[in-house]
Chain A
Amino acid sequence: DTGVSQNPRHKITKRGQNVTFRCDPISEHNRLYWYRQTLGQGPEFLTYFQNEAQLEKSRLLSDRFSAERPKGSFSTLEIQRTEQGDSAMYLCASSQTSGGVDTQYFGPGTRLTVL
């Protein structure tokens, strides 16, 4: 068990470019969450998957954002036509649900800077 990993750790891009982040959850965890954290704020929920199904999306997730988890393992988060307001830390978390509450384990995050 190596924990949740995220790549890249840092990404600098120019406004208007597309970026993609990857999250590898803890093995056998069936749920995967994406959060966004801006400076001085707590993380905000974006979306989550149970296995390969995307079951909930936040209103924060505009149509420029898309997330996938094609085989129920790793997930990607893509931002198209990036804007300066997209600059933030993007956090991934995974959990194994057993019918009740699940405990989420977080990765180190991907810090995005849009110039």
Chain B
Amino acid sequence: AQSVTQLDSQVPVFEEAPVELRCNYSSSVSVYLFWYVQYPNQGLQLLLKYLSGSTLVKGINGFEAEFNKSQTSFHLRKPSVHISDTAEYFCAVSDLPLRRNQGGKLIFGQGTELSVKP
């Protein structure tokens, strides 16, 4: 069975500092990996996704993530954070569909609360 572990429940950081949010997954098959952001009282917004190809994926708002198959990790990074990046971040994994109508349900981690302080 697939699972996702986000290693830090809370990450406090000062504005303009770099940040890394850690995500490890476990799966016996090839996977697709995603990072979503959730602002208070809102739904989830896709930041970036890894499907195949280059292991370094760039997303919106200056975020990027690196897929590491040997370490089963997909850590999210940003070189310089802003106050507006304060939000909950979720890592998710989806199976590679094996059958035509097989769904791509997402398995989420428990989330990391990023708090950017001035």
15 new A-B pairs (CB below 8 Å) besides A42-B4, A108-B42?
A6-B43, A35-B106, A42-B110, A43-B44, A44-B108, A45-B105, A50-B103, A55-B103, A56-B105, A99-B100, A101-B32, A101-B49, A101-B97, A106-B43, A107-B43
Assess the B103–A42 pair: CB atoms within 8 A: no
Known A-B contacts A33-B105, A101-B96; A41 and B110 likewise in contact (beta carbons under 8 Å): yes
User: Which residues does B use to contact A, with CB under 8 Å?
Assistant: 4, 32, 36, 41-46, 49, 51, 90, 92, 94, 96-97, 100-101, 103-111
User: Considering the complex, which residues of chain A in the window 67-115 have a beta carbon less than 8 Å from any beta carbon of chain B?
Assistant: 91, 93, 95, 97, 99-109
Chain A residues within 8 Å of B, Cβ to Cβ = 4, 6, 31, 33, 35, 40-45, 48, 50, 55-56, 91, 93, 95, 97, 99-109
A-B contact pairs, 7 of them (CB 8 A): A31-B104, A35-B106, A42-B108, A42-B111, A55-B103, A101-B32, A109-B42
Q: Using known A-B contacts A41-B110, A103-B49, determine if residue A4 contacts B43 with beta carbons closer than 8 Å.
A: yes
| Docked pose: A55 CA to B97 CA in angstroms | 13
Given known contacts A48-B105, A55-B101, A56-B105, A103 and B46 CB-to-CB distance under 8 angstroms: yes
A101 partner residues in chain B, CB cutoff 8 A? 32, 49, 51, 94, 96-97, 104
Q: How far is the CB of A25 from chain B (nearest CB, A)?
A: 12
